[in-house]
Structure 1
Amino acid sequence: MLVLMQGERTYNISIAGTSNSVAQILDSGNLVLLQNDTRKAVLWQSFDYPTNTMLSFMKLGLSVRTGLNRVYTSWKSPDDPGFRNYSLRINPDLFPQMFVYKGSAPWWRSGPWTGQRWSGIPEMATNVIFNVSFVNTEDEVSFSFNVKDGFIASRTVMNETGIVQGLGWNNESQRWIVSYSIPKEQCDFYGHSGPNSYCNPDIPDGFECTCFPGFEPKSPEAWLIKDGSGGCVRKRGISMCGNGEGFVKVSHAKVPDTLAALVDMSTIGLKQCQEMCLRNCSCMAYASAYSEIDKGTGCLTWHGDLVDARTFTNTGQDLYIRVDANELARYTKKGLLRKKGVLAVIIVSSAVVFLLLVALLCCILRRRRRAARTRRSKNISSFTTFEESLGGKDIDEGRRNGDLSFFDLSTVAAATNNFSSDNKLGQGGFGPVYKGVLLNGKEIAVKRLSKHSGQGVEEFKNEIVLIAKLQHRNLVRMLGCCIEGEEKMLVYEFLPNKSLDSIVFDESKRSVLDWKKRLEIICGIARGMLYLHQDSRLRVIHRDLKASNVLLDATMNPKISDFGMARIFGGDQIEGDTKRVVGTYGYMSPEYAMHGHFSTKLDVYSFGILMLEIITGKSNNRYVPDSPSLNLVGHIWELWKEGKATQAVDSALGDSYPADEILKCIQIGLMCVQEHATDRPMMSAVVSMLSNETTLQLPKPPAFFVKKNEISSGEGTVSANGVTISMIQPR
């Protein structure tokens, strides 16, 4: 339904023709019905419009001089042309935009006019059918379009659910074809991601909301359950006025709602726009007003919350967000690293070309090259046998999907400076781990299978097949592997802050982890475990979750690693048994250590131990002074029963933590380490308890583990015979 409003007079024009007809209002004010089968324009009805009012096939907007406002509204139902709540109109305030309203509330927003199109309608970037026109003068604010080809029949409709669709008539199939539809995805709905954040539907882990640079979630608990409606707030303790602040670019954006923006069309170019925003301490962001005309003209600046922003894959505008000096330095460093990487690629490529030219003249190098080809063919043969043992179907699928890359030994050796001891990050049961830098500047971690490792080949196979299939922000990402001759290596993303145990158990380092960051680490590990148990393509039991197998990225986000001991379950399988018990002292549940019975509750137990270690800053495998208990869990249980659980909290936290929140986490940790597996919660329940205010059950006594005859702080692969269980009754 098209609604024309002039002062207090309203004209409702209901299109009641057949499915293969379309109505058009001519400049003369006559409404005609265009029959697609005959291409005849038949006069249907005539209205007494003002003679100076120009009406076109699709036109929205306001004539200031006459008061005529063109608005589309939806029918009540497909058969009832009465008014419904939804309407499509232009809001002429400040910098005009198109809106779909549900009642008086915004439902969808087009974004501002960029000079050639609406920024929030990417389909207009490839428009070849319509002539579009946007008028923004003192007399009129309107948008209109007409079909370029007069023989193409098209129409625009708004259905009863508020969806606006453009349809074109296909004469061969005798039906209407949908050419565009708005809104069409969750990021299109107004304010989906909340203030000071933007919606990105292409984020791999499925949570589309992201805080703008310099901002953090207003409610971390809501963010954990993927509810971004509360938006983000400026990070605390920063200065944004005359202290070296600058701007970070967000590309391909539908810029925030311009109802909260100021526009200055006299300012030409981004440079002047940036300077103007920087001088005003209340300016939060800026962008070109007309970004598609002469490299950008005019200036839009935002001075309040940034509302209803999103990003696109290829279209959109550049939006510049004001950040403090520290945030600016972090983003600048990333940019410099990328530039250095490009320069390094150019230099190395030139050197390679030069060496290849010299090699053509060198007989010795030709012989070496032939010998290398011979060795390579042997390696391919051995790799084929190894690949078949892994499961060729899984490897081939990984290759096709880009999940798994294969590195040459020469590439890995060059990246690690020929496995220099200076690049060695650590040593595990699998073998040594080295830091490396590829020719493109990307930092990697290389896990090299020790030839004498008793842990190696089976775990190596397991990790290749498993990790290539898992994708989650809280799981370490494997980039590929290297298999040549006797060399077998796994290549991972490099995480600069190493493992969690290197910080949380270090007296000099753990003070960098305040309670907020520790809670974020706990919640991140919980989400990663929930993904393994429930949300991934495979149901995975890790079997060796511990502090040294949780790595930390540059911003201390946790990533679970080391899947060599993991077990994969079928669709409905939830538990199993093994005669080969593997894991680490202090993290194994009693049913697993004694009987080889494992289920997702084994990982829940390990998570509970890890959670209590993060809270206290102490390892469960170390003796607690002045406590009759043999380990950390027993010590915490005794304090819990006496109502003194906060005495176990890491002294490095001081008094800067919410007591209720930390007691809640201690209680959840004790629930996870209860002796009987059936008493422990599922990881889904753990994530829910961490994210929501809820009444928790009282935990039952935990199981306490020690090695026979001694307390050990060592880690390694063990059998059931190497573990005993002692029940200590709390006093």
Structure 2
Amino acid sequence: MNSTNFFFVIIILLIFLVILPSSLSVALDAITPNQPLRDGDLLLSTTKIFALGFFSPGNSHNRYVGVWYNTIPIQTIVWTANRDSPVIPIAGAGLLVVHGNHGGLVIYGNDQNTPLIWSANVTVSSPNNSVIAKLLDTGNLVLLENSGSGQRMLWQGFDYPSDTLLPLMKIGLNRRSGLNWLLTSWKSHDDPRSGDFSYEIDPTTFPQFIVYKDRTKWFRVGTWTGQRLSGVPEYTTSNIYRIYCYRWLSTHKGVLDESGIFQRFVWRGQENKWIEGSFNPSEWCDYYGQCGPNSNCDPYSNYNFSCLCLPGFEPKFPQDWNMRVGSGGCLRKSGASTCRKGEGFVKVERVKVPDSSRSRVNMSLSLKGCEQDCMKNCSCMAYTSADEREGGKGCVTWYGDLIDTRTFSNVGQDLYVRVDAATLAQFANGSVISKKARLATSLVSALVFLVLVFLLCWLVRRKRQGSNVALLVMYFMTAGRQRKNTFFMEDGTDLNDQSKINSELQFFNLTTVAATTDNFSVANKLGNGGFGSVYKGVLHNGKEVAVKRLSKNSGQGIKEFKNEVGIIVKLQHKNLVTIIGCCVEDGEKMLIYEYVPNKSLDSFIFEGHCWTGKSAVTLLLESLEGSYTFIKTQD
């Protein structure tokens, strides 16, 4: 090797040795003044559940410092430090440094001689104290100060959430420090800058959670009722326990996306993906104030319109209401007075109670005391209990318009709305009628139940006596009305089972039946009724038959026809006319019986006595030792 080549090899090795330390990824357990985090390095939590480092979202080339799940193959960012101040690639590689006197935790674009990009903005109590940054297994980045008296936390990332709510994070207001814990959506999938939506608490009067869009109320999550969030029924005590329970830390999260939807996710390792959970807002009625003031948004309404005025109110713009536009809301009915003139309260059940920013709270009052307190003040529009537990305790009263009330299907609070005397009487009468109707329904149900029990006992008794009981209940309607049959067989025989009918019944085609009756000639016609006509016919073997041809407008369908055929087949008896077969073809439905000359069976049964007028007959047929019982009831 000549001297020139040797010189070039030495130069390349020196360049490689200079570049190598900065290009290799380093896994750290802490960031110290002497050990910064460079772009490409990772800060890992103790059990390596979470990692912190520089990242670029989506198609963006900007660099951000963020936290993500280290054990999940899909990179999922859960917290971002410099979301509104990215490291621009042309400025060089990013650097996260711990400083005792320059903000505590600082991000530079390249090195510490360049302007800082982001800072935690804290200072240590003494320049002699050491400072380190660590990532906890909760995903929380913390800045710790070590002094002679021990270690204290100077700053934590969980005080400044991004768009993701992790277990042990908070949404609320720290009145001592002034910190407002809130979620803020990303601008877009590729841009983690603060977006249009925020999820935070409204601390005025009765605190409630609200999602804002550009500082305008977008979706009201509601107040805590002691059992659930009033606007999100599925967020119950048990669910909240699961979210904050320590053993769920690495698998659960909630995200406020760029469209204003807050959704819960759970990681399913077997499928290697995030499973979507409940999300809100999910219905039209969830969005804030859809139906305007003094209304109730009811997605289960029978009027094909979700907006309904609360009791005692009427649409402010009736024409808009008729056009299914309810944003104008409702106002008190014309001429109605609710101030010491016989007014009262009407209960509206299972609702998300109105916006509590216009309410007052008194936790010392019972629900009855709350009613009395509201009644004393003519400006009080409605009241409810502040806490649903123990039958309701505490008092919330509203003054001014009632905004953003909606109905839920099976949960929710009861809201008591102030109404005038006329409206109160109207609802009171409706309540009395409703109670009477429920009482009547209960009595009828009890009576039917007793009759069924008696009938069952009677059947069991007959069966124990060795009888083979078949009970047939038939209704005959006179004046040409159609006969309707209901059949009950004690042995449980399925009368619609075609295979059982086929074994005992002949099927004729339409051509054969037409030839038998001389093409349904008038000369062969024996009679007719509401069901159709009956013809006499002769089969090819000379046997005389009677053909019952159902009229096409008789109303009897295939199911009823098969029922009738099955019953007659099962009830063959020497004293009953025998069915030979049937024909179902080209819309025709016909039954072929043996022809019985002389008199019909009813003349023997009723011994020539006729029933006249509009009468209904209930026929009970009991095949017990050859005896038959007939019971007649008349209108």
Q: What TM-score do the two structures reach when normalised by structure 2? A: 0.50
Aligned to 2:362: 264
Cα gap change, 1:32 to 1:163, in 2 (>3 Å): farther
Question: Deviation at 1:295?
Answer: 1.1
SS of equivalent residue, structure 1 residue 207: coil
Structure 2 residue runs of 5 or longer lacking an equivalent are 1-63, 81-130, 146-151, 159-166, 463-468, 477-481, 487-529, 533-549, 561-613, 617-635
SS of equivalent residue, structure 2 residue 321: helix
State the AA in 2 paired with 1:72.
Answer: L
Structure whose CA Rg is larger: 2
**Correspondence 1:73 to 2:173:** no
State the AA in 2 paired with 1:251.
Answer: E
Asked if the contact 1:20–1:175 (Cα under 8 Å) also holds between the matched residues in 2, the reply is: no
Asked if the contact 1:287–1:299 (Cα under 8 Å) also holds between the matched residues in 2, the reply is: yes
Alignment of 1:89-108 (within 5 A): 89-108=200-219
Cα gap change, 1:15 to 1:74, in 2 (>3 Å): farther
Aligned to 1:124: 235
Asked if the contact 1:196–1:215 (Cα under 8 Å) also holds between the matched residues in 2, the reply is: yes
SS of equivalent residue, structure 1 residue 294: helix
**Correspondence 1:208 to 2:306:** yes
Cα gap change, 1:191 to 1:361, in 2 (>3 Å): closer
Question: Deviation at 1:241?
Answer: 1.0
In 2: Cα distance, 1:231 partner to 1:104 partner: 22
Asked if the contact 1:23–1:32 (Cα under 8 Å) also holds between the matched residues in 2, the reply is: no
In 2: Cα distance, 1:205 partner to 1:78 partner: 40
State the AA in 1 paired with 2:225.
Answer: T
In 1: Cα distance, 2:379 partner to 2:132 partner: 49
Alignment of 1:26-37 (within 5 A): 32=135
In 1: Cα distance, 2:558 partner to 2:291 partner: 40
In 1: Cα distance, 2:559 partner to 2:234 partner: 38
Q: What's the CA shift string for 1:394-451, capped at 9, x where partnerless?
A: 99xxxxxxxxxxxxxxxxxxxxxxxxxxxxxxxxxxxxxxxxxxxxxxxxxxxxxxxx
* Number of residue pairs matched by the alignment: 359
SS of equivalent residue, structure 2 residue 181: strand
Q: Out of 375, 378, 384, which is 2:475 matched to?
A: 375
Asked if the contact 2:362–2:395 (Cα under 8 Å) also holds between the matched residues in 1, the reply is: yes
Question: Deviation at 1:43?
Answer: 7.8
Asked if the contact 1:73–1:84 (Cα under 8 Å) also holds between the matched residues in 2, the reply is: yes
Cα gap change, 1:394 to 1:207, in 2 (>3 Å): farther
- Bigger strand fraction: 2
Asked if the contact 1:31–1:43 (Cα under 8 Å) also holds between the matched residues in 2, the reply is: no
Asked if the contact 2:292–2:327 (Cα under 8 Å) also holds between the matched residues in 1, the reply is: yes
Q: What's the CA shift string for 1:482-528, capped at 9, x where partnerless?
A: xxx999xxxxxxxxxxxxxxxxxxxxxxxxxxxxxxxxxxxxxxxxx
Aligned to 1:492: none
**Correspondence 1:338 to 2:434:** yes
In 2: Cα distance, 1:242 partner to 1:325 partner: 10
Cα gap change, 1:181 to 1:326, in 2 (>3 Å): same
Q: Out of 281, 296, 304, which is 2:400 matched to?
A: 304
Q: What's the CA shift string for 1:193-219, capped at 9, x where partnerless?
A: 100001111123431110000000000
**Correspondence 1:82 to 2:193:** yes
Alignment of 1:200-349 (within 5 A): 200-267=298-365, 269-291=366-388, 293-349=389-445
In 2: Cα distance, 1:210 partner to 1:86 partner: 29
Asked if the contact 2:297–2:406 (Cα under 8 Å) also holds between the matched residues in 1, the reply is: yes
Moved more, 369-378 or 158-167: 369-378
Asked if the contact 1:260–1:303 (Cα under 8 Å) also holds between the matched residues in 2, the reply is: yes
Cα gap change, 1:394 to 1:97, in 2 (>3 Å): farther
In 2: Cα distance, 1:88 partner to 1:29 partner: 31
SS of equivalent residue, structure 1 residue 277: helix
Alignment of 1:357-396 (within 5 A): 373-375=473-475, 378-380=483-485
- Bigger helix fraction: 1
Aligned to 1:51: 153
State the AA in 1 paired with 2:475.
Answer: R
State the AA in 2 paired with 1:19.
Answer: I
Aligned to 2:163: none
SS of equivalent residue, structure 2 residue 234: helix
SS of equivalent residue, structure 2 residue 271: coil
Moved more, 340-349 or 87-96: 340-349
Asked if the contact 2:228–2:234 (Cα under 8 Å) also holds between the matched residues in 1, the reply is: no
CA RMSD of aligned residues (A): 4.0
Question: Deviation at 1:286?
Answer: 0.3
Aligned to 2:297: 199
In 2: Cα distance, 1:91 partner to 1:360 partner: 63
In 2: Cα distance, 1:329 partner to 1:371 partner: 52
In 2: Cα distance, 1:394 partner to 1:58 partner: 63
SS of equivalent residue, structure 1 residue 157: strand
Asked if the contact 2:254–2:264 (Cα under 8 Å) also holds between the matched residues in 1, the reply is: yes
Alignment of 1:325-474 (within 5 A): 325-349=421-445, 373-375=473-475, 378-380=483-485
In 2: Cα distance, 1:389 partner to 1:229 partner: 52
Q: Percent identity?
A: 40
Aligned to 2:266: 168
Asked if the contact 2:531–2:554 (Cα under 8 Å) also holds between the matched residues in 1, the reply is: no
